[in-house]
A and B are shown apart, each in its own frame.
Chain A
Amino acid sequence: MSDRVPDCTVFLDGSAVRAVAGEPVAVGLWAAGVRVLSRSVKYHRPRAAFCLAGHCGACLMRIDGQPNVKACQTALREGQRIEHQNSWPAGEHDLLGAADAVFPRGMDHHTMFTSPRAANALLRKMVHRLGGLGRLPERGGELAALPSGRRRKVDVAVIGAGPAGLAAALTCAQDGKRSVVVYDEQDRPGGSLLSHPRFGIAAADALAAEARAVGVELRCHAAAIAWYPEDDGGLLAIDDGGVLTKLTARRYIYATGSYDVNALFENNDRPGIWAARAVGLLATRYRVKLAGRTAILGDGAYAHALAEALASAGSNVEHLASERVLRARGRLWVSGLDLEGGRRVRCDRVAVAAVPAPASELARQHGAAVELRAKGGGFACLVDGRGATRVDQVYACGDVCGFVGVEAARAHGHSVGRAVAESLA
């Protein structure tokens, strides 16, 4: 059951909305009945949160005067000003959404109206006016307020505080002989533990506490943004709560996990179609009561765990393990799915449990080899039995090496943590 009690008031396009302070804006607005959070850039299709992990870009809103802010990564607080973007005339109402209906087969703006010149000039004027997403930030900072970077050197840097990263860090730090720091872009450690109904916050906090107990430093709201090979002989740039950290380490462990991906069917971007792990977060981390019916797509272990958890919590679940979905129904929110063979399923939300894609780009930037896994959602980081990539001092573990799920990722983290400790002994 839900223990969420609204305790603050925020303003959506000027209207008061009651919400739970500290929850993500995307979750609070959804719980308050707001359906459309954003509009796609070109066709103005309605969009709402899909991944709740800051990776899909479907929940960008204007928050307190800043454009293009991820509503799923921003905590609600009293008096916050939240606005829809890229809609006309305003808010949830967007007449430009007609573009989607007028061009059912899409419009190729590169080749349309190339002549005559007057038509082309008009097209350019229109496209220019309609281009862009959010409006310029209300305020800019003073130059003096620009944060300057700080340098940091550690023995072991772990990127990602999910099951693999936390396990690797704590195994590596256990003998107390080296400094280990874990960076994670999310607001708390746990990664995919947080969205898994059998683990959740308690398991995440326990693993994080275990790591801290052996001296691991955990830094959240700290996104590793790039590996720069040429600056000072190579450094990892980290946006650590808005301040740049230029990090060098004797060993780097990439435990960046995996991205949620969508399944392919018509209108798969309808609001109400979530990544399964986002629905897991709603139920497990945010403890939102899932009223109505949830259709779960997919046959993996996670899909089954989620179906089981929702059902045992009394939620109405339709688990479509192997059926092929043709299209989603509903205009501003999903109302059902058409399946191959003519069957129609009514639902109030969809949880897509496709195989997540390894978040391998940072390790790749650092020189790790990757390989396309046709059935594994994307490019997996290649490592040997010790978790070592082809680059000296660079390791990887968990889903970034190909999706394996929470438990296997944690086990891999332990073994790679051990190998890294040995390499430094």
Chain B
Amino acid sequence: MSLPRETDVLIVGGGVMGLGIAYHLAKNGVRDVVVLERSYLNYGASGRNGGGVRMQWSTETNIRLMQESIELCKRFAGELKINIWLRQGGYLFLARAEAERARMERNIALQNRCGVPTRLISPAEAKRIVPELEVSELVCAAHNPRDGIVFPWPFLWGYANQAAARGVAICPFTSVERIVPTGAGFRVQTSRGEVRAQRIVNAAGAWSPEVAKLVGIELPNRPHRHEILSTEPLKPFLKPMVSLLSSGLYFSQSMRGEIVTGISVEDHDDGHVKMGSRLQFLTKVARELVRVMPRLSQVKVLRQWAGPYDVSPDGNPIVGEAPSVPGFYLCCGFVGHGFMMAPVVTKYYGEFLAGSARPAFFDPWRPTRFAEGTLVKEEMILG
């Protein structure tokens, strides 16, 4: 794709956020849109995540948005002409410590008020949902049968193809080198020449602090490596995504039959995106997984990889126009749940940039909240 010389909206980042916003802009009549991606599309977290979509959160904003996001996932195939393999097998959160029970009860009460049918269940009941579970160490579990998993890659194909079909210029392997505000927009120097843009959207995920720096903005989010692996394909047996609150272990069975699993591993934070794989992760996740699913001890690992979480101080995204640079919009800091939120976030973000009302989530996720000190912590961060 040749690089346009001028555009209305220039989106930095060819992941699910950037492509989703581009699609919704084009769908709402703004077709003068350019997406720049430094590598191949979905190179970052969008192409490396576990594909979980859940309504079990600890803040009302996240719960309500994810209810809507899963609704949008159900309609995705019809609208974008591509299957995303949504399977609502539920999410089963396991608690090992009594202290986790109170937190679970509080979150379930909030979820129930929002209309999410999460239930606190006993270890025995959890074992009825996943018979292979080792439940002797568990105190209770939270189960929402409407959570599920998707296959991440078709989101890219759907958004990118449909955006391109409406005239959006999608430019992979094009990096942004300099951004100069001109008062009436921006002059953006890329590795493939200059583009003049009226507005810029920073949807660069874990790289968004670097992009923000180009216009002098210091963002508080930091990249954090998360590792993941997948196993040999097995016939379907595991219904829900299962997660242990205490260790951050999660595992599910993909449409292709692989067990996809990850866990948090210590990492030193030097501010740079790291995507190497470590043996440390492999041995840790294997031990923790077999501790709750002994039947999986002989299952063969086929591959492991890593992706960058874009971690904000309070676990919530950073969204909206940067107060110091008019016309420069942020859509970052999604802390490992950006993918599942992309269907709903990009819909409203795209409609907003196309002239609709400012979405409600712009308020709790406004970039100025860190300076104001009004943080609402999201507790349900995994992996």
Interface pair A111/B82, CB less than 8 Å apart: yes
Query: Per a CB cutoff under 8 Å, which of A116, A132, A143, A244 touches B290?
Result: A143
Interface pair A136/B83, CB less than 8 Å apart: no
Residue B272 at the A interface, CB < 8 A?
no
Question: Least Cβ distance of A302 to chain B in Å?
Answer: 30
Please give me the residue from chain A that is nearest to B276 by CB atom: A230
Contacts A/B (CB < 8 Å), 20 sampled: A67-B232, A111-B81, A115-B78, A116-B78, A120-B78, A120-B83, A124-B86, A132-B235, A132-B236, A133-B233, A133-B234, A133-B257, A134-B235, A135-B237, A136-B132, A141-B294, A142-B294, A143-B287, A143-B291, A149-B283
In this complex, how many residues of chain A approach chain B with their Cβ under 8 Å: the count is 43
Residue A335 at the B interface, CB < 8 A?
no
Interface pair A229/B276, CB less than 8 Å apart: yes
Sample of 20 more A-B contacts, CB < 8 Å, known A135-B234, A141-B290, A226-B277: A68-B233, A111-B83, A114-B77, A114-B81, A114-B83, A117-B78, A124-B86, A128-B87, A133-B235, A134-B234, A135-B235, A140-B295, A141-B298, A143-B287, A143-B294, A228-B277, A228-B278, A228-B279, A229-B276, A230-B278
Per the bound structure, the CA–CA distance linking A128 and B86 in Å amounts to 10
Binary flags per residue of B221-259, CB closer than 8 Å to A gives 1, else 0: 000000000001111110000000000000000011100
Per the bound structure, the CA–CA distance linking A112 and B154 in Å amounts to 13
Question: Least Cβ distance of A3 to chain B in Å?
Answer: 35
Per the bound structure, the CA–CA distance linking A115 and B87 in Å amounts to 16
Per the bound structure, the CA–CA distance linking A231 and B278 in Å amounts to 6
Per the bound structure, the CA–CA distance linking A228 and B80 in Å amounts to 40
B residues within 8 Å of A by Cβ?
A: 74-75, 77-78, 80-83, 85-87, 132, 154, 157, 232-237, 255-257, 276-280, 283, 286-287, 290-291, 293-300
Per the bound structure, the CA–CA distance linking A137 and B231 in Å amounts to 13
Interface pair B298/A68, CB less than 8 Å apart: no
Within 8 A of B (CB), among A114-158: 114-117, 120, 123-124, 127-129, 131-137, 139-143, 145-146, 149
Across the interface, which residues of B come within 8 angstroms of A204, CB to CB?
Answer: none
Interface pair A128/B279, CB less than 8 Å apart: no
Per the bound structure, the CA–CA distance linking A123 and B86 in Å amounts to 11
Per the bound structure, the CA–CA distance linking A145 and B296 in Å amounts to 13
Q: B87, B154, B236: which has the most chain A beta carbons within 10 Å?
A: B236
Please give me the residue from chain B that is nearest to A132 by CB atom: B257
Per the bound structure, the CA–CA distance linking A244 and B172 in Å amounts to 40
Across the interface, which residues of B come within 8 angstroms of A172, CB to CB?
Answer: none
Interface pair A41/B85, CB less than 8 Å apart: no
Interface pair B81/A128, CB less than 8 Å apart: no
